[in-house]
Amino acid sequence: MSSLGWVGIISIVTAGLTIAIGSIAPAIGEGLALARALGALAQQPDEANTITRTLFVGLAMVESTAIYCFVVSMILIFANPFWNYFVNQAGG
């Protein structure tokens, strides 16, 4: 198989695994924070505004690590410089 084929295959595998592995921790981290937020709401209903605001800012920060992985995954599928190089080679 040519280099082009190998680069394609590896890009597919890596793109999939990157987002799959990379979504494990954010989902669990967000679940923990969300669970605790609901407990905090039940415990101190009067602070619902502060709690909810802090929760969503924090969730966005945790989500950012999932988004890093999603970005790398999309780059590997749609804007892969190694793939482009070899396609140019093959077409040259």
Cα dihedral angle (41, 42, 44, 50), rounded to 10 degrees? 0
Q: Closest distance between a second copy and the C-beta of residue 34, in Å?
A: 4
Q: Closest distance between a second copy and the C-beta of residue 2, in Å?
A: 6
68 in Cβ contact with 22 (< 8 Å): yes
Write down the residue that tokens 């929760």 correspond to.
Answer: 55
Q: Closest distance between a second copy and the C-beta of residue 49, in Å?
A: 10
